[in-house]
Amino acid sequence: MNIEPTFREQLIDAGILIPLGVDGVWGRNGVFEAICAGLEHAISEAGLNDAPEVMRFPPAMPQDYFEKSGYMKNFPHFAGTIHSFDGDERGQHKLLGQMARGEPWMEQQQPAGLVLTPAACYSVYPTLARRGPLANVGALVDVYCWCFRHEPSLEPTRFQFFRMREFVRVGTVAQVMAFREDWVARGKVFATSLGIPFEVDIANDPFFGRGGKLMADSQREQALKFELLVPINEGAGPTACMSFNYHMTHFGETWDMRTEDGEVAHTACIGFGIERLALAMLRHHGFDLDLWPVDVRAFMGFGTKVSKSVGSVDAVEA
C-alpha cells in the first residue's frame, strides 16, 4: 500500500525544512525564505499608511525586562534562558572531560543576564515606558523579532524558534480598541490577498498550571484574544497564523506607561506568525513559487521567476 507522505514529510523531502534532529527546530531553504521575505514586504505595505515607528530587537532581552514582564507567572514552561561558561582553565579542562565522557557538563554555565524573547512585543513596552508619558495620539510600533518558546512538537507549524512581526498600539482604551477592531478586518483582507482559506475565532493563551484554566476562561469571556486560523496540518484543527490581542492595562501597569493625561495606558498587539503563514501558503499554493497565482505573487512582491533567485539543490547539482 502506498501511503501519501504527510505535509511534514513533503517539506523535508523538498528540502524546504531542514531537520536538525530536535523537534520544532528547523533550518529553512531559499524557497521558504523567499516566502518569508514576501510576507515581510506584504505586511510592511499593509501597515505603511499608519506610519508606525519601526523597532528591531535581537532575539533575547535583558533578564530584568523579562522578570518584570511577568512571563514566568503565566508561561514558565515556554521560557528559554541564556547561560555561558564562567569558569577558569581548570574548569574548562573538567568540562571537556565531562563532555568527552558524555557526562553532564553544565554546572559551570552561569546566567548571562539574557532571556530568549518569547514574543516580539515584549521589548517594546519597557522601551516606550522609558520615554515618559505618551503623546496624545498614543504610540504605534512595527516590531519584528525571532522568538523562542520551548514547545517541542512534531507538528511542522509549531516551531521552537520562529519569527513574529507585530504592530503594537499603546494609548487610551478607545485608541487601542479601535486599532484592534480595525486590524481584525484588515487581517481578513490580508489573508484573502494571500489566497489562503481562514476563519477568525476567539482564542486563549496556553496559561500554565491549575490557575491557567481560569486565566484562559476569563481571557475568552472578555474576548481579549482573536486568532486567524488556517487549515495546514492534516488530521488536526486549523493553526493560528495571526493573533489580535488586547491586554487591557496589563502592560501599562507593569511598566507604568501613561497616556498624556496621566491615565494608565492600554495596549494591543497584532501578531503575524511568519513561519506559519509561509507554511499555510506552501500548503495551499504548492511548493513551486513560479506556479502560484499571479495576484498572490504580486501581493508578495515576487519577480517573474522566483525560483531563479532562491537557488535549489537541482541547480547546484546541474
Output the nine-digit C-alpha cell for 118.
518569547
Q: In terms of CB distance, is 95 or 277 closer to ligand ATP?
A: 277
95 three-class SS: helix
User: For residue 88, how many C-alpha atoms fall within 13 Å in the half-sphere facing its CB?
Assistant: 1
Part in contact with ligand ATP (CB under 6 A); list of ranges 124-132, 157-165, 298-306, 310-318: 157-165
Q: In terms of CB distance, is 269 or 300 closer to Zn ion?
A: 269
d(CA 274, CA 134): 30
User: Exactly one of 275, 282, 283, 300 binds ligand ATP (CB under 6 A); which one?
Assistant: 275
d(CA 198, CA 276): 13
Part in contact with ligand ATP (CB under 6 A); list of ranges 47-55, 133-141, 156-164, 249-257: 156-164
d(CA 310, CA 35): 10
Residue 271 binds to ligand ATP (criterion: CB under 6 A): yes
Residue 162 binds to ligand ATP (criterion: CB under 6 A): yes
273 in Cβ contact with 43 (< 8 Å): no
Residue 243 binds to ligand ATP (criterion: CB under 6 A): yes
Residue 191 binds to ligand ATP (criterion: CB under 6 A): no
Residue 242 binds to ligand ATP (criterion: CB under 6 A): yes
User: Exactly one of 39, 121, 145, 300 binds Zn ion (CB under 5 A); which one?
Assistant: 121
Least distance between ligand ATP and beta carbon 233 (Å): 11
* Number of continuous H segments (helices) and E segments (strands) in the chain: 13, 12
Q: What is the CA radius of gyration of the chain?
A: 21
Residue 97 amino acid letter: G
Residue 168 binds to ligand ATP (criterion: CB under 6 A): no
DSSP alpha helix (H) spans, 80-151: 89-100, 124-129
Instruction: For residue 136, count other CB atoms closer than 10 A to its CB.
Output: 11
Length of the chain: 318
User: Exactly one of 50, 151, 181, 182 binds ligand ATP (CB under 6 A); which one?
Assistant: 151
User: Exactly one of 115, 128, 241, 306 binds ligand ATP (CB under 6 A); which one?
Assistant: 241
Please tell me what DSSP assigns to residue 122.
G
Least distance between Zn ion and beta carbon 211 (Å): 22
269's contact among ligand ATP, Zn ion, none, with CB below 5 to 8 A by partner kind, is: Zn ion
Residue 269 binds to Zn ion (criterion: CB under 5 A): yes
State in Å, rounded, how far the first CA of the chain is from the last one: 34
270's contact among ligand ATP, Zn ion, none, with CB below 5 to 8 A by partner kind, is: none
d(CA 175, CA 288): 42
Part in contact with Zn ion (CB under 5 A); list of ranges 28-36, 162-170, 179-187, 281-289: 162-170
Part in contact with Zn ion (CB under 5 A); list of ranges 12-20, 112-120, 215-223, 286-294: 112-120
For residues 123, 127, 128, 130, the Cα torsion angle rounded to the nearest 10 degrees is 150
Q: In terms of CB distance, is 175 or 219 closer to ligand ATP?
A: 219
Residue 280 binds to Zn ion (criterion: CB under 5 A): no
Output the nine-digit C-alpha cell for 76.
514558565
Sign of CA dihedral 95, 101, 107, 112: positive
Q: In terms of CB distance, is 168 or 306 closer to ligand ATP?
A: 168
Residue 238 binds to ligand ATP (criterion: CB under 6 A): no
**For residue 162, which of 305, 273, 299 has the smallest C-alpha distance?**
273
Binding site for ligand ATP (CB under 6 A): 119, 149, 151, 158-159, 162, 164, 205-206, 227, 240-243, 271, 273, 275-276
Residues in contact with Zn ion by the rule CB under 5 A: 119, 121, 166, 269
